[in-house]
Amino acid sequence: MGSLLLIALAGFGASFVDGALGMGFGVTSSTLLIAVGLTPALASASVHLAKLGTAAASGAAHYRFGNVDWAGVRRIGIPGAIGAFVGATVLSNISAKAALPFTGTLLLVLGIYIVIRFVRGRAPRRKPGVPGLRLMVPLGLIGGFVDATGGGGWGPVTTPTLMADGRLTPARVIGTVNTAEFIVALAASLGFLVGLGTAGIDLGIVVALLIGGVIAAPIAAYVVRHLNARILGVVVGNFICLLNARILLGALDAAPQAWWAAYGVLLVIAAMSIGFVVRIVRRERVPAESVHA
């Protein structure tokens, strides 16, 4: 009972991060399940079954707060589902460790780019619109494939790319990615059921993750709607850097000293960049408040 409560709390935290930043549920939940003894394939299958509920709740909450671009959901969700089904059925038992250094490096670079972009104040000048199929189709295929084979990765692959593209606001990127994740989770779940059957899948774990995640979804959607776009962007960028530093360090079997040094540097950069943007935003609000006064 105690372990299920911890899993439910992990589901809450993972879903809150995922709903507020557009990424993190699968990676966080899969890490926990593997730590308690599940194989990577069974951990990923359990997480994707739970995602059916958490992604639906998150998508509904984001829709309620106006964060969803439905054209974007269709353009990225359908190819994402195809990639997830292929990854789950064909490659669920093949290690993706060989690709981790390359994927982690790419995402880390994207995270750094996003931090720099928002620190420099380019977020308010984003152009409205929806990314085209030339970007969305391959992005969805890759994101869905990585998500199914790694137990998570839909958000870390798609969110930074759409943030960097610049045609959707941060809130719309996160709402669209979270809503499309339901389609991806459904396809991955079907793929795992075809490839693995139901043997070894613990419904208690799935339900615990689901309950925690569903409770967190509307809270995260409210937060992302009301947080300043520039602050949100720099938070997302730093989160991507921290997440993919972990992937790279793990793939390289780095020594504990390297982990401490890398995270120390990244946390200092995160604190400085977020603090800088918060101060800028506060200064920008003062004149407007003075005029209204």
User: 257-293, pLDDT tens digit by residue?
Assistant: 989 999 999 999 999 999 999 998 888 776 544 444 4
- What is the distance between the alpha carbons of residues 161 and 173, in angstroms, rounded to a whole number? 10
pTM for this prediction: 0.71
Read off the pLDDT of residues 137-184 as tens digits, 9 standing for 90 and up.
Answer: 999 999 999 888 777 778 888 988 888 888 888 888 989 999 999 999
Mean predicted lDDT score pLDDT of the chain:
81
Range of the domain at 115: 2-292
The yes-or-no verdict on residue 53 having pLDDT over 90 is no
Output the pLDDT for position 185: 93
For residues 26 and 51, the answer to whether their CB atoms sit within 8 Å is: yes
For residues 59 and 174, the answer to whether their CB atoms sit within 8 Å is: no
Could you tell me the two tokens for 266? 């990244």
* Angle, CA 260 vertex, CA 256 and CA 261 arms, to 5°: 115
Output the pLDDT for position 131: 86
Count of structural domains within the chain: 1
